[in-house]
Structure 1
């Protein structure tokens, strides 16, 4: 007995389908064979009747004699081997029979006689009264002239034919049982070929669920099972990679937080000890203030990412001029660019308004992050080109640098959360992930093209608006849509230092 499970279901389904197909085929086959045999018998008798009628009726009409002689001649001339010949009057009473039955038999009223009286070749299949034997009767009317009109009825047994049909049916049933047995064996093997890989995949999945992410599904499985195994292995690989990225992030953010905290603690203790002139005190307070701002930036970046992940990012949307946003961004990073001797150049049409419907502070955060990264990874005395243009109802803002670039391997991962190409550059690895989420909240797209050693081009595409929008409205992220919400006071502050 096959235990419950997929194997049993597959075997039963195959078995049931094949069983029904065999049953239908054998039923149709037996009907066709039976019809063939019965039609052969009928055609033999009906042909004999037709030939006899064509030959005997003209002769009988020319030599009409008394009734008894006519009946005797009919019995002799119309006889057919392996059949009983009966001569009936028009009322269905048997006048004579080749088996010498008495003529006072009951009146016959089978359908073949009725058809014969109507001038057709009548046929009837049924049980012979008294004996219960299966027979076929074929009848036709003979007109010998005058009042000498009779119904000629041939009666033949179907027992031999039915016996042969029964043997043939038993043979077909035996063949069907053999076919079902073969199907059962094949379906069990086929089911096992499917279930065995599934059991293997299930076992590996259970190990992964218990934390064994180093295990993999082994085996060269085909079709959907192969895709399932590959997907599971890929999932495990991605979980391991995500865990590694998370661990790197924790290590990196711990270092990022510890460095300013150490400076703040050191200068706080130094200033607390007293004895310093105002200049040293001013320097110490400046360092404390700068490191505090750095801490605030790191914490706010992590808070922004948390809000985006929980669909709680609030947007204050209105009509925003992207050219002005880019110009303000350049002013904010000008000092940092000057310090590294990096030159910024904006290429745009000053006479046009490149308006979009969005949150100006959040869009500024997008461009601050992109331009800050361009400066961070550019060489000294290099150029960064910024451009804003409109094409096909889209505002396209691009930032192109000639810096170190990104390899193709890292380019597909650089927008993943916590990912950093070089952990020594500091940061949380969340900047580009947050940037992409913010752009998508504005129904836009961000693309990156880069070549290692040749620089990077980041392109932000946003839907343009043709007319001035109404008053600003506060909206909050909810999946892929934004719904109105009262603006919180904490969201009015623009963080220009965020990267």
Structure 2
């Protein structure tokens, strides 16, 4: 007995389908064979009936003879082998018979007789009332002229045919049983070929659910089962990778949090002890303030990422000029760039307003993160080129540096959450993940191209909106803004000095 499960269901369904198909085929086959045999018998008798027309002329010569002589003459000349011949009057009474099977003067009322009286060749299949034997009767009317009109009825037994049909039926049933047995064996093998891999995959997934993420589904499975096994293995690999990234993140963020907290705690205790001159106190308070801002930045970055993951980030959208956002970003990172002796240059058309529909603060956060990363991974005395342009209804803002670049291995992972190429550089590894989420919230895209040792180009593409600025609203900041340490004479120089 097959236990309950997929195996039993598959075998049962296959068995039922094949059984019903075989039953239908054998029924049609036996019906066709029976029809063939019965039609053969009928056609043989019918051919004999058509030959009775040849006897009408000689029979008419004996019309003057006694009726008994006519009947005897008919019985002799119309006889058919293995068939009883009966001569009936128009009332269905048996006048003569080639055998004693039906007594003379008996009245028959089968359908073949009524059909024959109507001028047709009648046929009837049924059982003899006396013997119960199944027979076929074929009748037709024979008109010899005058009052000599008879019904000639041929009666033949179907027992021999039925016995042959029974043998054929038993043979067909035996073939059906053999076919069903073969189907049963094949379906069990087929079901096991499906169920065994499923059981293996289920066992492996149960181990993974218990925390055994080092196990893998083994076996060269095909089609959907192979895809399922590959997906499960890939899922386990990604979980292990995600856990490793989270562990690295926890280690990194713990270090990032501990360092400023240590500085704050140390200077707080030092200042609390008293006895320091105002200059040292000012330095200590400055360090406390700087480290506090750093902590706030780390916490805000994690809060932003949490909001994005929970779809709770709310944007205050309006018409935003991307060129102005990029220029403000350059002013914000000016001090950091100058400290590292990195030069910033903006290339754009100052006469155009590159407007998008978005949240200005969040878009500024995007470009601050991109430009800050470019400065962080750039060499001293290198250049960072920023550009803003419009193509095919899209605002394209690019940040290109000539820094250390990113390898192909890391480039595909750099926008994953918690991922950091170099953990010694600090940070949470959430910056680019947040940046991508924010850009996608603005229905835009962000792409990265990089070559190890040659630099990186980050391109942000956003849908543009129609310009609605009048002449009095045009931006007055320089289109080609150079912000190197020599402070070239331009409108941006005065803006930086005022800030």
| Pairwise CA distance, 1:220 | 1.2
| Pairwise CA distance, 1:340 | 2.0
| Pairwise CA distance, 1:321 | 1.4
Question: Root-mean-square deviation (CA), in Å?
Answer: 7.7
More deviation, 472-481/93-102: 472-481
Q: Is the 8 A contact 2:343 2:482 kept in 1?
A: no
Q: Is the 8 A contact 2:478 2:490 kept in 1?
A: no
Q: TM-score, normalised by structure 1?
A: 0.90
Q: Is the 8 A contact 1:84 1:99 kept in 2?
A: yes
User: 1:341–1:80: structure 2 CA closer, same or farther, 3 Å change rule?
Assistant: same
More deviation, 396-405/408-417: 396-405
More deviation, 114-123/22-31: 114-123
| Pairwise CA distance, 1:248 | 0.3
1:4 and 1:380 mapped to 2: Cα distance?
A: 72
| Pairwise CA distance, 1:420 | 0.6
More deviation, 108-117/202-211: 108-117
1:235 and 1:84 mapped to 2: Cα distance?
A: 85
| Pairwise CA distance, 1:76 | 0.6
Q: Is the 8 A contact 2:481 2:492 kept in 1?
A: no
1:252 and 1:62 mapped to 2: Cα distance?
A: 129
| Pairwise CA distance, 1:136 | 0.6
1:395-415 deviation line (CA, Å, top 9, x unaligned): 222222222222222111111
Q: Is the 8 A contact 1:342 1:379 kept in 2?
A: yes
User: 1:331–1:102: structure 2 CA closer, same or farther, 3 Å change rule?
Assistant: closer
Q: Is the 8 A contact 2:60 2:144 kept in 1?
A: yes
User: 1:224–1:474: structure 2 CA closer, same or farther, 3 Å change rule?
Assistant: farther
Query: Does 2:266 match 1:291?
Result: no
| Pairwise CA distance, 1:274 | 2.8
More deviation, 126-135/445-454: 445-454
| Pairwise CA distance, 1:122 | 1.5
User: 1:9–1:101: structure 2 CA closer, same or farther, 3 Å change rule?
Assistant: closer
2:457 and 2:496 mapped to 1: Cα distance?
A: 22
User: 1:358–1:83: structure 2 CA closer, same or farther, 3 Å change rule?
Assistant: same
Q: Is the 8 A contact 1:475 1:485 kept in 2?
A: no
Q: Is the 8 A contact 2:346 2:482 kept in 1?
A: no
1:418 and 1:238 mapped to 2: Cα distance?
A: 14
| Pairing 1:269-348 to 2, within 5 Å after superposition | 269-348=269-348
Q: Is the 8 A contact 2:353 2:469 kept in 1?
A: no
1:438 and 1:98 mapped to 2: Cα distance?
A: 107
Q: Is the 8 A contact 2:387 2:397 kept in 1?
A: yes
User: 1:493–1:47: structure 2 CA closer, same or farther, 3 Å change rule?
Assistant: farther
Q: Is the 8 A contact 2:351 2:474 kept in 1?
A: no
User: 1:230–1:469: structure 2 CA closer, same or farther, 3 Å change rule?
Assistant: farther
1:344 and 1:244 mapped to 2: Cα distance?
A: 36
**What residue ranges of structure 2 are gaps of 5+ in the alignment?**
none
Q: Is the 8 A contact 2:111 2:124 kept in 1?
A: yes
**What residue ranges of structure 1 are gaps of 5+ in the alignment?**
none
1:310-344 deviation line (CA, Å, top 9, x unaligned): 22112111111112111111111122222222222
User: 1:52–1:186: structure 2 CA closer, same or farther, 3 Å change rule?
Assistant: same
Q: Is the 8 A contact 1:314 1:476 kept in 2?
A: no
Secondary structure, aligned partner of 2:475: strand
Q: Is the 8 A contact 1:87 1:150 kept in 2?
A: yes
Q: Is the 8 A contact 1:136 1:156 kept in 2?
A: yes
Q: Is the 8 A contact 1:475 1:483 kept in 2?
A: no
Q: Is the 8 A contact 2:353 2:467 kept in 1?
A: no
User: 1:294–1:156: structure 2 CA closer, same or farther, 3 Å change rule?
Assistant: same
Secondary structure, aligned partner of 2:495: coil
Q: Is the 8 A contact 2:350 2:477 kept in 1?
A: no
Secondary structure, aligned partner of 1:100: coil
User: 1:99–1:484: structure 2 CA closer, same or farther, 3 Å change rule?
Assistant: farther
User: 1:135–1:463: structure 2 CA closer, same or farther, 3 Å change rule?
Assistant: same
More deviation, 240-249/134-143: 134-143
| Pairwise CA distance, 1:172 | 1.2
